[in-house]
């Protein structure tokens, strides 16, 4: 679950990580009031889940209440990453002396928790990595305890003089006091990440401001979906725009679903087989309308729900069902198909491939209803592709 900046800030504050003063605003009037309250120069920022806000014109400066209202009006009219901007964060403008990048994340390659630090903050870490690979430091953390101070400082590359970047010429100096401040923030990020089950907690930039203070000017947090059941307090932070309405409907029914642009609706058991089925549809010359994994359970209701999602999706011209029975019993799926046909106007051709646990029984059930099922996956896919590609098998 991805959090927006204003939501991420709430968690940062809870963990004592300094952020600039700010107000949330949903209208130009509210933005104007926020500027009046904060005083002086403010930054008005679009609250969206996608990156690239600045480039899209979603981050602007304002100096007066009128200014703030005008800027807010323009940002609220924007669409960024396919979503209309609906919320703004108005923050007091902060003058950075230096911008860093700091994140704590669960790293799948090392199978551990690590911190990533760069003294090239402010740009995306991918850009920094491409332009200055030596300036990005990956620091492994103890998964149970978080960063060890000495190891962390060494990992940052802070040498005796506080220089960062392997002491390369022109790498700039890092005051030992600043380095220690960054370590302390990393320790707080680790606590946040481990206690709230995050897969990523990222500060970019983490700014050094006049007077030597460190402030997180922007933040991105991704909460691990598997951890969410343990944190009911985080559930209200879910942003509906993270998923399509059909994806939410599917999730509520216990199905795993992703909508795509093609015209063959897919219903499969298992994630890997679902992906492979989509790939084969493409291989044989058509395009899948979706990814849909009905999971391992033997519940005819799930099949009915899956049908209702697929038949409700615009552009679906045929449906392919591919079941390799293991835990999933083919006869349960067959019963679900029969039930769905009696409840829903399906209206498009269905091609079925069933094999594995109780497949003979399933084929009997389907045969009685006049439905034929394939054994061979390739045959089934060629058949369904022929339906959408003008009937030529």
Q: Cβ of residue 317: shortest distance to other proteins, in angstroms?
A: 17
Among 16, 112, 212, 315, binds other proteins (CB under 8 A): 112
Is the bond preceding residue 205 a cis peptide, omega within 30 degrees? yes
Fill in the DSSP letter of residue 288: B
Q: Does residue number 256 form part of the binding site for other proteins (CB under 8 A)?
A: yes
Among 122, 162, 325, 336, binds other proteins (CB under 8 A): 325
Question: What is the distance between the alpha carbons of residues 257 and 254, in angstroms, rounded to a whole number?
Answer: 9
Among 57, 176, 181, 227, binds other proteins (CB under 8 A): 227
Q: Cβ of residue 277: shortest distance to other proteins, in angstroms?
A: 9
Q: Cβ of residue 269: shortest distance to other proteins, in angstroms?
A: 6
Closer Cβ to other proteins, 243 or 308, answer by number: 243
> Among all chains, which residue has been given the structure tokens 């990523």?
200
Residue 168 to residues 150, 162, 165, 196, 308, Cα–Cα distance (Å): 21, 12, 6, 37, 61
Question: What is the distance between the alpha carbons of residues 315 and 261, in angstroms, rounded to a whole number?
Answer: 8
Q: Does residue number 260 form part of the binding site for other proteins (CB under 8 A)?
A: yes
Q: Does residue number 131 form part of the binding site for other proteins (CB under 8 A)?
A: no
CA-wise closest residue to 323 among 366, 270, 372? 270
Q: Are strands 318-325 and 350-356 parallel, antiparallel or unpaired?
A: parallel
Q: How many CB atoms lie within 10 A of CB 378?
A: 12
Q: Does residue number 127 form part of the binding site for other proteins (CB under 8 A)?
A: no
Among 36, 77, 154, 230, binds other proteins (CB under 8 A): 230
CB 78 within 8 A of CB 58: yes
Q: Cβ of residue 175: shortest distance to other proteins, in angstroms?
A: 32
Q: Does residue number 198 form part of the binding site for other proteins (CB under 8 A)?
A: yes
Question: What is the distance between the alpha carbons of residues 106 and 378, in angstroms, rounded to a whole number?
Answer: 39
Of 5, 23, 114, 202, the catalytic one is 202
Count H helices, E strands: the chain? 12, 18
DSSP letter for each residue of 71-128: HHHHHHT-EETTEE---EEEEE---EEEEEEEEEEEETTTTEEEEEEES-TTS-HHHH
Among 271, 343, 360, 369, binds other proteins (CB under 8 A): 271
Among 326, 364, 369, 372, binds other proteins (CB under 8 A): 326
Q: Does residue number 70 form part of the binding site for other proteins (CB under 8 A)?
A: no
Q: Note if 101 is an active site residue.
A: yes
Among 118, 274, 335, 386, binds other proteins (CB under 8 A): 274
Question: What is the distance between the alpha carbons of residues 228 and 197, in angstroms, rounded to a whole number?
Answer: 8
Q: Does residue number 275 form part of the binding site for other proteins (CB under 8 A)?
A: yes
Q: Does residue number 355 form part of the binding site for other proteins (CB under 8 A)?
A: yes
Which residues lie near other proteins (CB under 8 A)?
106-109, 111-113, 126, 143-144, 193-194, 197-199, 224-227, 229-230, 256, 258, 260, 268-276, 278-283, 287-288, 291, 293, 296, 324-328, 355-357, 377-378
Known catalytic residues are 101, 202
């Amino acid at each position: 679950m991805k959090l927006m900046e204003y939501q991420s800030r709430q968690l940062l504050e809870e963990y004592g990580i300094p952020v600039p003063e700010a107000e949330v605003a949903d209208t130009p009037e509210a933005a104007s009031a926020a500027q009046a309250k904060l005083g002086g120069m403010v930054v008005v920022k679009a609250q969206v889940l996608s990156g690239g806000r600045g480039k899209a014109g979603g981050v602007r400066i304002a100096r007066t209440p009128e200014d703030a209202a005008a800027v807010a009006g323009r940002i609220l009219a924007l669409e960024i990453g396919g979503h209309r901007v609906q919320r703004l964060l108005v923050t007091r403008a902060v003058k950075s002396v230096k911008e860093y990048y700091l994140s704590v994340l669960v790293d799948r390659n090392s199978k551990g928790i690590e911190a990533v630090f760069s003294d090239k903050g402010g740009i995306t870490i991918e850009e920094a990595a491409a332009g200055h690979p030596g300036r990005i430091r990956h620091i492994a953390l103890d998964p149970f305890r978080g960063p060890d101070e000495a190891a962390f400082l060494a990992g940052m590359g802070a040498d005796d003089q506080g220089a960062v970047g392997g002491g390369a010429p022109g790498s700039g100096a890092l005051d030992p006091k600043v380095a220690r401040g960054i370590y302390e923030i990393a320790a707080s990020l680790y606590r946040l990440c481990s206690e709230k089950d995050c897969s990523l907690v990222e500060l970019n930039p983490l700014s050094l401001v006049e007077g030597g203070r460190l402030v997180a000017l922007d933040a991105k947090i991704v909460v691990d979906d598997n951890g969410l059941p343990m944190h009911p307090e985080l559930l209200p932070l879910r942003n509906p725009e993270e998923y399509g309405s059909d994806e939410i409907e599917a999730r509520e029914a216990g199905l795993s679903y992703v909508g795509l642009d093609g015209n063959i609706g897919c219903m499969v058991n298992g994630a890997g087989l679902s992906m492979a089925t989509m790939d084969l549809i493409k291989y044989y010359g058509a395009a899948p309308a979706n990814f849909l994994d009905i999971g391992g359970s033997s519940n005819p209701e799930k099949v009915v729900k899956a049908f209702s999602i697929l038949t409700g999706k615009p552009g679906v011209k045929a449906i392919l069902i591919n079941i390799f029975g293991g835990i999933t019993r083919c006869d349960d799926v067959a019963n679900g198909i029969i039930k769905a046909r009696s409840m829903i106007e399906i209206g498009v051709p269905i091609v079925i491939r069933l094999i594995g646990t109780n497949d003979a029984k399933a084929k009997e059930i389907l045969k009685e209803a006049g439905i034929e099922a394939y054994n061979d996956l390739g045959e089934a896919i060629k058949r369904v592709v022929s339906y959408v590609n003008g009937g030529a098998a």
